[in-house]
Amino acid sequence: MIEAQANLFDWFHGRVQDARAATGVGLSRDSELYLVTLLTDRARADRAEPAGQTLAEMHARASGAAPAEQVRTYREIGDRSLYAVGYFEESLSRSAVGPSYYCDMGAAAYARTDHVFKRWFANAFDGVFDELAHGFRGCVRVLQAVRRSTDDEPDIVARLHRRWLETGSEEAASRLRAHGLVLPPRSSES
């Protein structure tokens, strides 16, 4: 199990480095490693899912909590927002609150995490959360590039088709057509 996790970390590390170079997003080494760790953690099947609260509910809970709980909750808001927009932006575009909401909530949560760390704890993360807060949209672009890089894997057509079925993504449809597929009208289009 430890070996698999190390390989997953290494796999994401290579993808994040490539995505960072491709997007031109400037990140410190520590922030780059934070993104790798976030992706590795979110990919683990044995990861315990946090309670199904909205970002606003989590923010309300954190605002009145003790500093240690504030850090945990604000960090989760930032992580959840970054991962959602970086990997699932298309599905967020059709929800009541779109990608901009997640970007604003995530950036503010990372800024709050940075503030609480600096006020109450040793600055163990040395500006990582400040960098994530101020460069949130750049980090989103890096995660989006990581996600797109998985489209180069052997099962690209199956994954693109699944994404098109689930989200109606026009980008996925276009890429499927480029692979020679003729797509039927979606049920909402008929």
pLDDT in tens, 21-34: 999 999 999 999 99
Element (H, E) at 60: helix 55-63
- 88, 166: one domain: no
How confident is residue 100, by pLDDT bands cut at 50, 70 and 90?
Answer: very high
Distance between CA atoms of residues 76 and 157, nearest Å: 33
> What is the total count of domains within the chain?
2
Taking 70 as the threshold, does the pLDDT of residue 154 lie above it?
no
- 134, 185: one domain: no
- 131, 170: one domain: no
**Average pLDDT over every residue of 163-185:** 74
Nearest residue to 149 (alpha-carbon basis) of 32, 34, 22, 41: 22
CA-only gyration radius of the chain, Å: 18
- 89, 173: one domain: no
- 96, 24: one domain: yes
- 62, 92: one domain: yes
For residue 50, what are the domain limits? 2-152
- 117, 160: one domain: no
- 90, 158: one domain: no
Taking 50 as the threshold, does the pLDDT of residue 17 lie above it?
yes
Taking 90 as the threshold, does the pLDDT of residue 8 lie above it?
no
- 148, 162: one domain: no
